[in-house]
Amino acid sequence: MNKLKLKTVIAGATRNSLKIVLSMLLASATSIYAQEEAYFNPLRTAVPSLTIAPDARGGAMGDIGAATEPDVFSQYWNPAKYVFAPSKAGVGFSYTPWLAKLVSDINLFNVSGYSKVGSSENLALGASIRYFSMGDITLSTEHQPNTGEASPYEMAADVSISLKASEHLSIAAAVRYIRSDLGGGTDAGQEPAVGVAADIAGYYNTQVDVGSRESLLGVGLNISNIGGKVSYDGGSTEVFLPTNLRLGASLQMPLDNYNTLAINADINKYLVPTPPGMDASPEDKKKYEETAAISGIFSSFNDAPGGMKEELQEVVWSLGAEYAYDRKFFARAGYSRENPAKGNRQYFALGGGIKLTALQIDMAYLISSTPSNPLDQTLRLSLSFDMDGMKGLLQ
């Protein structure tokens, strides 16, 4: 985006304008300040709302879901899990306030659903829509204090297909339409960023013996948001989508006939190039700006200025647990850590849920251990409906 034009838009903006800038900075994990770190070089991507976990169950375990037990919100975490879901179909709704301690009109809304196809249930279709509202802002220029109103937003709509390749293995693919409108308008040199991206996912589960207990081991992989760069200024400047590699494992152990405990872990790494740093040469900066999206995926493993040490700093890890009583009452907890040099999001999460015949209600609460998390002390809510259970109620 042209920096001079962006400055013109923001110069006379009201308080609501400033909160949008703050939201985008926090959401992209660049932090307001460098946390007094000697080295601070976060990755830069467009449409940061694509990385916000949409549901309370995964959020309550520290943003985990690559290999956890399948549910209706698997479209975001790993759509390959859908064919192993216990129900034939389901739909879910979730609500996540953003910067709730500062403002009340920045929110993420998500709707997800899936349905297995055919009597063999070896094929499943999934879909989701997410809408990230950034509230209302008043536009202005250097010479005019009020040039109109705008309602910036980001949204994405996707569909997936998952196939059971064997008794224990499934694969999936998804395609996603993305639109990000920051609300500046063409007079300020801004245009909505529009793009298309794809996901590739896999999931494997099998029974293993843990002591005398037969437990369920799951492993999941999801490479999401694979697509070209997007632009907010008609192509003059292009920005990478948040292409992400998520790898996870889960071990679900029955403690007795009524009690179950699942231990879960996820690691994430953005598959985008590392910025060359402020002291980089003009040639290195130009090379970074001209890197194509697909080339950036492959170079993202060995292009950090700090070498392998910095590459490892780009890995975000999460640990979480889920306790279930009679498959009806749930308690969850988790922790997630991002390196201070790459954004410094570090937080604990707690939550729980209750499952009725056809309805499940889940909640999550985040407690940040660093001062830069926009979800700190925020309550998230998800509702999901089991279509098999709905049919049972109607019969």
CA-nearest of 23, 31, 43 to 136 is: 23
Give the 3-state secondary structure of residue 331.
strand
| Residue 297: per-residue pLDDT | 95
Please state at what angle helix 15-27 crosses helix 3-11, rounded to 10 degrees.
Answer: 140
Q: How many Å apart are CA 71 and CA 94, to the nearest integer?
A: 13
Specify whether the CB–CB gap between 3 and 189 falls below 8 A: no
* pLDDT of amino acid 2: 40
pLDDT at 323: 98
CA-to-CA separations, 336 to 32, 124, 317, 321, 345, in angstroms, rounded: 19, 31, 6, 12, 8
Looking at residue 19, its pLDDT comes to 43
Dihedral over Cα of 73, 378, 361, 24: its sign: negative
pLDDT along the chain (395 residues), means of 10: 37 38 41 48 92 95 96 97 96 90 84 93 96 79 67 94 97 97 68 95 96 93 96 89 97 95 97 87 88 93 91 96 96 96 93 95 94 84 90 69
Counting DSSP H helices and E strands in the chain, the numbers are 8, 16
Tokens of 287: 């090379």
DSSP 303-320: --TTTHHHHHHTEEEEEE
| pLDDT at res. 182 | 84
Q: Which residue has the tokens 């008043």?
A: 138
Query: How far is it, in rounded angstroms, from Cα 296 to Cα 48?
Result: 18
**What pLDDT does 121 receive?**
87
pLDDT of residue 98: 83
Beta bridge partners of 162: 124, 172
CA gap 198, 174 in Å, rounded = 5
Q: What is the pLDDT of residue 187?
A: 57
**Nearest-angstrom CA–CA distance, 284 and 294:** 18
What is the model's pLDDT at position 79? 98
Return the pLDDT at 7. Answer: 37
